[in-house]
Amino acid sequence: MSRLKNNYENSRFHRFEAWMAGDTDILKGKLEIRRPEEPEEQEIELDETKINAAVYDMVHNRELRAFRILYRLASVILCLTLIAVLLWTVVYLPKFGEPDNPINNEVSARYIEKGVEETGATNFVTGMILDYRAFDTFGESCVLFIAATCVQVLLRLDDSGSREKQKKKRAEENDRIYEPKNDLILQKVSCVLVPLLFIFGIYIILNGHLSPGGGFSGGAVIGSGLILYLNAFGFKKTERFFTDRTFRRITLAALTFYCLAKSYSFFTGANHLESGIPLGTPGAILSSGLILPLNICVGLVVACTMYAFYTLFRKGGM
Amino acid sequence: MDFIRNFPFFSIILAMFCGILSSVLKGKQARNLCLFMVTTVMLLSGAVLWYTTKAGSFIYMMGHFPAPWGNEIRAGVLEALTAVFFAVILFLSLLGGMKHIFFDVEETKTNLFFILVDLLMSSLLALIYTNDLFTAYVFVEINTIAACGLIMIKQDGHGIVAAIRYMVMSLLGSGMFLISLSMLYDITGQLLMEPAGEAVASLVSSGQYRVPLLVVIALMSVGLAIKSGLYPFHSWIPETYGYATPAASAILSSLVSKGYIFLLIKIFYRVLGYQAMVQTGITNVLFGFGLIGMIMGSVKAIQETDTRKMIAYSSVAQIGYIYMGIGLGTRAGMVAAVFHIFTHAATKSLLFISAVGLYEVSGGKSDYLSLRGSGYRNRTAGLAFAVGSLSMVGFPMLAGFISKLLFATAAVQSPAKMFFTILGLALSTTLNAIYFLRLVISIYSPAEREYGEEVSFLASRKLKAASFLFIVVNLVLGLFSQPIVDAIGVGLNQFI
């Protein structure tokens, strides 16, 4: 529970250290140094409303105005029609929860009756998404991965590049001085909550095959714990253990493991070979074959992606 | 089981794995990995094509559990043919636009571009090979997000606006597709294509759940039509294709929208039942919109002065052709539509890539007056553009001629729609000729201003090679069309 000290540079110890290292500038504060004034670049002010008015000439352009009104009216009508049609369809759909509905067929019967025996997971849902239909879940993890990639494309500001980009980056980073810092109440509360959140998230992930939960929900809990910690203690603290590079490595490792493990499983399954992965006793923590490690992978990807989204929206980088 | 049956699965997983791996690579390494992946997929799919023509279609279990419980993929002649073709087009588009990728995309983000391309390829392959409706939805999602990323990666104002537009329209389509999927699950209880198809067939014959089934059919067709840019839902096309980096434009116009159409055809045949679809009349609706799109897309293209937007509007017209073929409601119409998917993919990417070669030597301007004489300044690109335009217009020996011939032949076989189809074809061809030949004449007219000698150095060797190979692909489609048409027919038979 260490607070971030802002005035470390003025502390006695630091000055002593600097003197020892010979960093103390003798002339500091004794010479008047005046920087040559940079000519201020004039930014062209863009008034959106004026430009729009000039381009579209809304006052005189009757045709365009009529078109806009018609366009809005048409879109409202379209939405209402779609809603009406969908509601009307609901009336004809099978009633919810009836025993002889089409969805109560041999598919769900086998998931329920033989699920434990075939996947080793006492939680049917986990058995279904990570064993029966694991290919879809791999696709979903890749959706998260590609979404994170797109956010990076859009929001990551990199060091290299032209001077203009550097300037843009500095301008964006200026936003960060308005971030709240060292809020005592938040820090105290998160000291209590963050460990609990982490432990609870890990519990959800590790027990994904035994009780409700799994990689997606547990990862979301861990991710929110990270975000809370970040809000309370600031980026300097989190950057010590979580940077852009950590994110990339964890995601790469988790997705690679998922990809290779499931490829092995798909390959053996399709070729009717024995996979040789023991299912263990249903109900034990180390059971259900690949499901536990896969849940851990999914959890890591989800936690990292959530945290990455949050940090990227701060503008700049992780 | 023959080892070759693993190849569709290998190609999907390889594309995904390359995408994941590219996140830690540098831009150039990611590029090499991506090109390696596309080449490998091409070879693997070629092997699958060879195998399926001999041994017929097969189903591949993704895991240890058979049909209604686990995931499955399926490969037949048509799937393998499409996969080979898509891989070829992707490779050539990347090759042709490579210089611009490294110019348009920030240096530190080039590896992200190739992640998007890798995952896009994996999702296209999954859409082609899937035998499971929900897998299809998951990969439609990946496809949409990857396409969005490719549009905005150029990071200028136009690109971002275009990406937002694309995202809104495309997500509307995805949403409709998802709603229709969940309704279909509600009334059939199946997600895999074959059992779902059997359940739908029994529902149709017993007359149960008539209304939900109709809504499912409508939502599914409209959702995928929005995503592929059928006429009244085309408003995202011109900006998207006009402002993205050239390789991305070529990929988006020739592959992404075709992936959705292919999925729609597969669902029509394997889940909803083609005859049942014809009876509901949804094919007539698609026919109508396709026909209007053919005319309106061309009219809009004539009004456009920016060449890239003009090519984009021409895409609207060509998508109209494909839906018209589907809407004819006959087997011949469907064969023509599938052949036109190939034709359009090959020709449109050729046009986008060769048009870039023309701007490079015209001071970067893309309106058609500035392009005057550019056919002399960059001869390969000029030749490629001329070939592409002639193919679009339907010049004999080229791909476009064969697909127009197939459409016309198919129209004769369905008397009710013959008149409108032939009329639409004639009108649209004339309009196509007006704007494409105007451009071809303009690039071969003497320029009014002088461009220095040094501009000719700008034409990169890769672009020349890609243009040349595109012309070859076009000629192959045009001259040796019969085996391809036969293969499409065999593939469609295997669907049922």
- Give the pLDDT band (50/70/90) at residue B457: very low
Mean pLDDT on B146-171: 90
From the list A107, A153, A267, the residue facing B112 with the nearest CB is: A153
User: pLDDT tens, A136-180?
Assistant: 989 998 998 999 899 888 887 776 666 676 776 666 666 666 776
Chain A, nearest residue to B60 by Cα: A270
Q: From CA B307, how far away is CA B350, in angstroms rounded? A: 14
Please give the residue of chain B at the shortest CA–CA distance from A262: B63
Set of chain B residues whose Cβ sits within 8 Å of the Cβ of A255: 20
Q: Which of B68, B148, B215 sits opposite A150 (nearest CB)?
A: B148
**Residues of A with Cβ-Cβ distance to B23 under 8 angstroms:** 145, 149, 248, 251-252
B470 is written with which tokens? 């595109």
pLDDT tens column, A2-20:
555 567 667 788 778 887 7
Q: What is the pLDDT of residues A174-195, one digit of tens each?
A: 666 677 677 889 999 999 999 9
pLDDT of residue A247: 87
Q: What is the pLDDT of residue B369?
A: 79
CB-CB under 8 Å, A145 with B20: yes
Q: What pTM, to 2 d.p., does this model score?
A: 0.88
**Which chain A residues touch B212 with a CB distance below 8 Å?**
89, 92-93
Give the tens place of pLDDT for each residue, A281-311.
Answer: 887 888 778 889 999 999 999 999 999 888 8
Residues of B in contact with A251 (CB under 8 A): 20, 23
Backbone angles phi, psi at B427, to 5 degrees: -60, -50
Whether residue A92 and residue B141 make contact (CB cut-off 8 A), yes or no, is no
Asked if B186's CB is within 8 angstroms of A103's CB, the reply is yes
- pLDDT tens figures, A128-141: 888 888 899 899 98
Q: For residue B60, which residues of chain A lie inside 8 Å, CB to CB?
A: 270
Model pLDDT, residue A161: 60
What does B180-246 look like in DSSP terms, one character per residue?
HHHHHHHHH---BHHHHHHHHHHHHHHTTTHHHHHHHHHHHHHHHHHHHT-GGG-TTHHHHHHHS-H
Of the pLDDT bands very low, low, confident and very high (cuts 50, 70, 90), residue B66 is: confident
Indicate yes or no: CB of B135 within 8 angstroms of CB of A106: no
Q: Is the confidence at residue B208, as pLDDT, over 90?
A: no
Mean pLDDT of B468-489: 92
- The full 3-state SS of A229-285, as one line of letters, equals HHHHHCHHHHCCCCCHHHHHHHHHHHHHHHHHHHHHHHHHHHCCCCCCCCCCCCCCC
How many C-beta neighbours within 10 Å does residue A293 have? 14
| Contact (Cβ atoms closer than 8 angstroms) between residue B321 and residue B290 | yes
Residues from chain B contacting residue A101 (CB–CB below 8 Å): 186, 189
Higher pLDDT, A279 or B302: B302
Q: Return the higher-pLDDT residue of A190 and B374.
A: A190
The per-residue pLDDT for A191 is 92
Q: Which residues of A touch B199 (CB under 8 A)?
A: 102
Test mutation, A140, A142, A274, chain B, max B CBs within 10 A: A142
pLDDT confidence tier of residue B364, bands split at 50, 70 and 90: confident
Quickly state the pLDDT bin for B130 (edges 50, 70, 90): very high
Of A197-201, A262-266, B154-158, least confident by mean pLDDT is B154-158
Q: Please, which pLDDT band fits residue B29 given cuts at 50, 70 and 90?
A: very high
Which runs of E-coded beta strand occur in B38-149?
A: 58-62, 71-75
CB-CB neighbors (< 8 A) of B62 in chain A: 134-135, 266, 269-270
- A1 has a pLDDT exceeding 50: no
Nearest chain B Cα distance for residue A253, angstroms: 9
Q: For residue range A72-97, list pLDDT tens digits in order.
A: 999 999 999 999 999 999 999 888 88
What confidence tier does B278 reach under pLDDT thresholds 50, 70, 90? Answer: confident
CB contact under 8 A, B187 and A102: yes
CB contact under 8 A, A265 and B126: no
Question: Do B62 and A270 lie within an 8 Å CB cutoff?
Answer: yes
How many Cβ pairs within 8 Å bridge chains A and B?
Answer: 177
Instruction: Choose, out of B5, B22, B65, B112, the residue to mutate when testing the contact with A (most A CBs < 10 Å).
Output: B65
Please give the DSSP secondary-structure letter assigned to residue A318: -
The pLDDT score that the predictor gives to residue B207 is 85
What confidence tens digit (pLDDT) does each residue in B218-234 have? 999 999 999 998 988 88
Q: Report the pLDDT value the prediction gives residue A176, as an integer from 0 to 100.
A: 67
Mean pLDDT of A52-62: 74
Under the banding of pLDDT at 50, 70 and 90, the label for residue A27 is low
